[in-house]
Amino acid sequence: MDEWRMKPIGHVRSPYTDVQQIPKGLGAQHAAEGTIEILPEFEAGLLDIEGFSHLLVLWVFHQVEGFELVVTPPADTRPHGVFATRAPWRPNPIALTVVELQGRAGSVLRIRGVDMLDGTPVLDIKPYTSNVPPEQLRRGWLADAEDRKARQ
Amino acid sequence: MDEWRMKPIGHVRSPYTDVQQIPKGLGAQHAAEGTIEILPEFEAGLLDIEGFSHLLVLWVFHQVEGFELVVTPPADTRPHGVFATRAPWRPNPIALTVVELQGRAGSVLRIRGVDMLDGTPVLDIKPYTSNVPPEQLRRGWLADAEDRKARQ
């Protein structure tokens, strides 16, 4: 059977020690600062990363067990398929956050835009290199929920 | 030891059967069309996904074994840390592609922007909901390589 084993390349240091502290829902701002401490054996993989202003960080919802296929996310009062949301109860508990890279000191990346718990395992980091043309972007139920909130 | 087991939620159907066929390097266009066939047991997780124009698809470099920490990517003649590239030889062989969602029929998503091999296992799908402000985006060695190419 197809199965892949993933191990941490490092861990997040964050001001958040409880999920209740992490801003969620419509208009949530992720301005918190923290670091990613890469394991020493992977530090060489960071060469030239400081040239990028933003990184895609893939990490594990390590405190979540099991999954739900239909969820009601914090940004809405209506249920949606889990693959149409960022909810943590996913078949593969992988999360993705775009963070701003503020600096690097050896194996430690200083980042802004943290929405992870302290101690979160990181699986991968990739450079953020391009946007979707804004005029082509449709945001489904999220845009609808924002519209409803704006009319309240 | 920390370790997570990931299983496919579905597979990509693509015109590419060999990695040599996939456009790579500076200016590569990813206009190919294909589908993602979600496994029947996960179809309910697609509810409302058709409202989004673009999806983040997380998939496995399933034909790659082992990893390299410093790589010379197709877009450059100079070596960079693997976490500053999209190269496939990563400690955790997870890939990320932004695709355009063209339609859905049950458990099948029609997509544009395929850069995966036919049969590629998909681990997760998330809605694409926001861009980095273009004036804040710095693209490191990739911008340098583009500049050098433009001056040739």
pTM score: 0.96
- What does the pLDDT read at residue B38? 98
A69-107 pLDDT, tens per residue? 999 999 999 999 999 999 999 999 999 999 999 999 999
Residue A58 has pLDDT above 80, yes or no: yes
d(CA B15, CA B10): 17
**Contact of A99 with B13, CB cutoff 8 Å:** no
- What does the pLDDT read at residue A28? 85
Tens of pLDDT along chain B (152 residues) come to 689 999 999 999 999 999 999 999 888 888 999 999 999 999 999 999 999 999 999 999 999 999 999 999 999 999 999 999 999 999 999 999 999 999 999 999 999 999 999 999 999 999 999 999 999 999 999 999 999 999 98
DSSP secondary structure string, B73-124? -TT-SS-EEGGGS--S--SS-EEEEEEEEEEEETTEEEEE---S-TTPEEEE
Closest CB from A9, A83, A143 relative to B49: A83
* Chain B: residue whose CA lies nearest to A92: B6
* Residue B47 CB contacts under 8 Å (≥ 6 apart), including other chains: A69, A70, A79, A80, A81, A84
Tell me whether residues B4 and A60 touch, CB distance under 8 A.
yes
d(CA B17, CA B34): 12
Residue A53: its chain B contacts at CB < 8 A? 132, 136-139
Q: Give the B window 67-96 contacts with A, CB below 8 Å.
A: 69-70, 79-86, 90-94, 96
Residue A115: its chain B contacts at CB < 8 A? none
* Residues facing B101 on adjacent strands: B111
**Chain A interface includes B139 (CB < 8 A):** yes
* Residue A101 CB contacts under 8 Å (≥ 6 apart), including other chains: A49, A50, A52, A53, A54, A55, A109, A110, A111
To the nearest whole Å, the CA of B10 is away from the closest chain A CA by 11
- Tokens (6 digits) for B50: 């058709």
A3-54 pLDDT, tens per residue? 999 999 999 999 999 999 999 988 888 899 999 999 999 999 999 999 999 9
- What does the pLDDT read at residue B1? 60
Which ipTM was obtained for this model? 0.96
B100-137 pLDDT, tens per residue? 999 999 999 999 999 999 999 999 999 999 999 999 99
- What does the pLDDT read at residue A1? 61
